[in-house]
Chains A and B, each alone.
Chain A
Amino acid sequence: MLLKRKGLKSLMMIMMMGLLILTAACGNKAEDSTSNGSSDTEQTSDDQSEDTALDDESADDEDVEVEMGGEIEIDGSSTVYPLTEAVAEDFGKFNPEVRVTVGISGTGGGFKRFCAGELAISDASRPITDEEAKTCSDNGIEYSDLTIAYDGLSLVVSKDNDFIDHLTVEELNKIFTTGSTVKTWADVRAGWPAEKILMYSPGAESGTYDYFNETILAKKGIRNDTQISFSEDDNTLVQGVEGSKYAIGYFGFAYYEENADKLKVVPIDAGKGAIAPSPETIKDGTYAPLSRPLYIYVNKAEISRPEVYAFADYYINNIGSLASEVGYVPLPDDKYSEEATKLH
């Protein structure tokens, strides 16, 4: 009996601890709001010091050590995520006091939060839509859009596929468009085998699909029947295409590059000859129309916070070297300095 009483007592203790945590939570919130208030008053002086420190890297760093802290919330495209993660990781090494968090709600989900004023930066694999921009302006959110890298949407087939040398944009449209009557490869081009085409596509939620829909399908939407499989997980698409000689699929260049030993990339002809995606063709824009720019959208009101400015500045100055490391294609060097001016 005694033992049992003891057990009950310790249970009561646990409950008390739970209550304590709850009250601590409320306390914390109050602290947050006061610290926000004080940083607001400091803003004017920050801006000045920021401007003078701009061209001097070391001075900027000192600035950082003294007064940077706070949180930078980032959310948005899962395609852009590896880029932002890489920047956040390196930025965190120099500025351990700044807490950067990155989520993957998708481009659309990111803009929803961004235009509600919840985010400092939104990752996007497509430009903001008119509708989203309207929400933003309704809520008084002004922003700068920075182009950070390119991605080349890659059409891939299995390594065993020996008949495809290239596809034209029209043929792609014919294969994938909604209500398509194409069943076999023979329907695409005369002389190709009369074998059923198996298609693999990212799901409708992804920016990759959006981009494909816009550039290849003229926004008419993709077919949805027994011949096509959708997945939000690009590795599933890789496995699907790899598994059949007559399969075709598309996804970001990084996934092709990583699986180049298992897949064959299809050169695309948009009227100027067949061109395969590669860092060079994506960078100089000859891999059209499937090379796409990736963006970050920075809330202008947030740029006045020194840590957000420092982060965005660091982002645009370092993404060039980080992009290729995570499988994307950097912009030409002079483009980055051009983009950096948008932060002022």
Chain B
Amino acid sequence: MADRNHAAGLGTLKNKRKNVLGFMWKYKALYLISLPGLLFFVLFKYVPLLGSVIAFQNYNLFAGVTKSPWIGLEHFERMFSHYDFLKILRNTLLLGTYDILFAFTAPIVLALLLNEVRLVLYKKIIQTIFYAPHFLSWVIVSGIFVGILSPSSGIVNVILGWFGVEPIYFLGEDSYIRTVLVGSGLWRDVGWGTIIYLAALAGINPDLYEASNIDGAGRWRQTLSITLPALLPVITILFLLKIGDFLDYGFERVFVFQNPLNIQSSEILDTYIYKAGLQQLQYSYATAIGLFKSVVGLFLIAIANAISKKATGESLY
């Protein structure tokens, strides 16, 4: 009896599998079409991920991954005992913190302010201007900032000069470079960041405001009790993604502002990886740092996601 059931069970399982395979065969063209795209992700995303094992080797271009000697965690130990590395990590963490404090919150505030604008034409024009800088490359953004911050002819120093301030070489001093980096980031992307929030704001049911009006709630009260709660899911999701990028401030946006005078404060993991890896050819060491960065990012996102799931019910997965 039991045997029979077992056999029957196996039979349906077999049938089911056959059905699925038959179904897949019927739509084989779909799989064929998807093949190049899937190949892309395997080749350009997953193969280099596997290639990260060279972080545990003394990789040598001529020996390749298979024949290079394995040395365990040596590169990671070297990394943490290296004074420069700790300084660079500190720079990266500081920029990541400023990024969350300013670059993450500013678009939320700006979206709320834009949402109060009722003049349609004015709103349209101002949004057109706000979104535009996002389309400029970092090279161009740095060119513009270098120009306007120039100590001799830059418009910022000219204006400061009207108030009797001595010209400041913003890009040549350690103490200003982080401000310049965060500021140029805000300049380029703060408007762009509002788009998602504005979309969420447009989706709020107007009846809620109507009802709260009747209940005598003021604008401020409405913002706190209706608008912000409605934005919370979007804010949470974007915040989780941002946390995952905590060590990932971005290579280009920092590299284009670097010079020997500000390098002490502006060197971050990404730029250091480029210099150690592609300029000094310390392949394994640079990979170790890169792997460290990716793993920390993954951990941060997992932890933040777990906390958020418990606290707000929102999560990435």
A and B: bona fide binding partners: no
Residue ranges of B at the interface with A (Cβ–Cβ < 8 Å): none
Residue ranges of A at the interface with B (Cβ–Cβ < 8 Å): none
